[in-house]
Structure 1
Amino acid sequence: GVNELVRVYVAQKRKISDGDKLAGRHGNKGVIGKILPVEDMPFLPDGTPVDIILNTHGVPRRMNIGQILETHLGWVAKTGWNIEGNPEWAQNLPEDLQSAPADTRTATPVFDGAREEELTGLLSSTLPNRDGEVMVDGDGKARLFDGRSG
Structure 2
Amino acid sequence: TQQPLGGKAQQGGQRFGEMEVWALEAYGAAYTLQELLTVKSDDMQGRNEALNAIVKGKPIPRPGTPESFKVLMRELQSLGLDIAVHKVETAEDGSSKDLEVDLMADIERRRTPSRPTYESLTAEDLQEEEEV
TM-score under structure 2 length normalisation = 0.30
Higher RCO (Cα < 8 Å, 6 or more apart): 1
TM-score under structure 1 length normalisation = 0.27
Larger radius of gyration: 2
